[in-house]
Amino acid sequence: MANDNIQMWTELNIDLKSHDMLLNALGPIFKEVYLSQKNRPAGMGFYDFVVGDIHGIRVKELREHAKNGGKVVATYCVFVPEELVWAADAIPVGLCAGTQFSVPMAEEVLPRNTCALIKSSFGFKLGRVCPYVQASHLIVGETTCDGKKKMFEILNQYQPVYVMEVPNKKTERSRQLWHGEVLAFKDVIEKLTGNKIAAKKLGEAIDLVNQRRLALQRLYNLRKNRPVPISGKDALLATQVSFYDDAKRDTQMLNALCDELDKRVAIHQGVAPAKAPRILISGSPMAIPNWKLHHIIESSGAVVVCEESCTGTRFFSDLVKPTQQNLDEQLKAIADRYMNIHCACFTPNDERPDDVVRLAKEYQADGVIHYNLQFCHTYANEAHKMGKRLEKEGIPLLRIETDYSDEDAGQLRTRIEAFLEMIRK
Ligand code: BJ8
């Protein structure tokens, strides 16, 4: 198997030396952050296996698909409507961008004062260390923030990139623009694959992705229980894996995990004492292997019960309205669903603070940690409004700005422990 992988990575033009270093670094981190947890659900074994073979089996599946004439479409943002990709018999894969490892590589080209997510993803391409990037036929970007937008121009020099224009406002005119973008994306995918997207196929794809969203909703609903039956770290990992695993298999594994958690809830079995402070995290997405904040919070005696983020509720909280018959209606339903993602790229974006207040109540959160990546101006600025709103609601808030390095881990721990102390009083 190991030799098979090496051959596959060589064919994908991976820099084997750097890649070895990346995988060798990931193993001990995963052991420390994940395998050290006590009382984990047995269903997490699947996710441990997936991470243990992170650049193996799934990449092999994508390669098989490509060898049979299929296409692989890589994405960076939850705005890209994956239903259209599935409907054209292509496979969408959400790219990881959560490691410090590839940041210095990116800084050879990008300005240092760029957010870690952008640098990490670009560094993967520049350093040729990510087989998912290498295996993809098209990368789909979006105009959500200036940093990403300009990075995609440079990335396009290395690999084909198509950029969707995400509007910045939520007006009717913006909705029409976005609807047009969804139609244009359909054409791009049809051209890439040579497959015409028909209503029947699109209906099946809508159902496929909706089923995964429902399974994630089920997982998150289970986190509303006290004591909480699964750690925030494990729930985050399950969500992160959903970005690149096969959607049907992923739904099955999520539901199997939820079946187990149902049993835990029935006997009040939790991963943390019922009195442990419950934290809701709100802000920038956390791509694999960005587990830094969750690890600090949970190893300080609290438990993360929800993430209002794109590796959290923004990924799955809305379904596409199932309309099986009519292609125009389906495309409209897709456009409507995706326009309802409350990303900080919108102005104004009052729906996001509303969501956080609602989620804090639903998940019985004792406090909110607002997380934004350094140099991410949209989330950093929105934190101000969030602070005012949560203050009005009497919900304690801690604002964290960080990156992927471990340099500030000690300082973060001190601040988080002080916050938890304040919540416990
Ligand atoms: S829908 S949150 S996945 S854009 S953290 S790169 S915004 S400077 S990630 Fe996002 Fe889509 Fe919005 Fe979600 Fe820019 Fe900020 Fe970096 Fe960001």
Q: Is residue 169 part of a domain?
A: no
- Judged against a pLDDT cut of 60, whether residue 1 lies above it is answered with no
- The finding on whether 235 has its CB within 6 A of some atom of ligand 1 is no
How many Å apart are CA 67 and CA 135, to the nearest integer? Answer: 11
CATH of the domain at 280: 3.40.50.11900
- The finding on whether 164 has its CB within 6 A of some atom of ligand 1 is no
Sequence-distant (6+) residues with CB within 8 A of 266 are none
In which domain, by residue range, is 240 found?
Answer: 204-318+344-423
List C-alpha distances in Å: 11 to 3, 205, 220, 391: 12, 31, 39, 55
For the chain, give the mean pLDDT: 97
How many Å apart are CA 271 and CA 50, to the nearest integer? Answer: 22
Residue 324's pLDDT is what? Answer: 62
Residue 144 alpha carbon to ligand 1 centre in Å: 7
Please tell me the least confidently modeled range out of 220-229, 315-324, 416-425: 315-324
> How many C-beta atoms lie closer than 10 Å to residue 391's C-beta?
11
Q: Is residue 251 part of a domain?
A: yes
Q: Is residue 404 part of a domain?
A: yes
Among 310, 315, 375, residue to substitute to test ligand 1 (most atoms within 8 Å of Cβ): 310
How many Å apart are CA 125 and CA 103, to the nearest integer? Answer: 11
318's tokens: 């809305």
Number of domains in the chain: 1
* pLDDT tens digits along 232-282: 999 999 999 999 999 999 999 999 999 999 999 999 999 999 999 999 999
- The finding on whether 285 has its CB within 6 A of some atom of ligand 1 is yes
Closest by CA position to 157, among listed 191, 122, 181, 105: 122
* pLDDT tens digits along 369-401: 999 999 999 999 999 999 999 999 999 999 999
Cα separation of the two ends of the chain: 54
Look at ligand 1, atom 13, and give the residue with the nearest C-alpha.
Answer: 310
Look at ligand 1, atom 3, and give the residue with the nearest C-alpha.
Answer: 77
- The finding on whether 383 has its CB within 6 A of some atom of ligand 1 is no
Q: Is residue 357 part of a domain?
A: yes
Q: Is residue 2 part of a domain?
A: no
Q: Is residue 240 part of a domain?
A: yes
* pLDDT tens digits along 163-185: 999 999 999 999 999 999 999 99
Q: Is residue 356 part of a domain?
A: yes
- The finding on whether 310 has its CB within 6 A of some atom of ligand 1 is yes
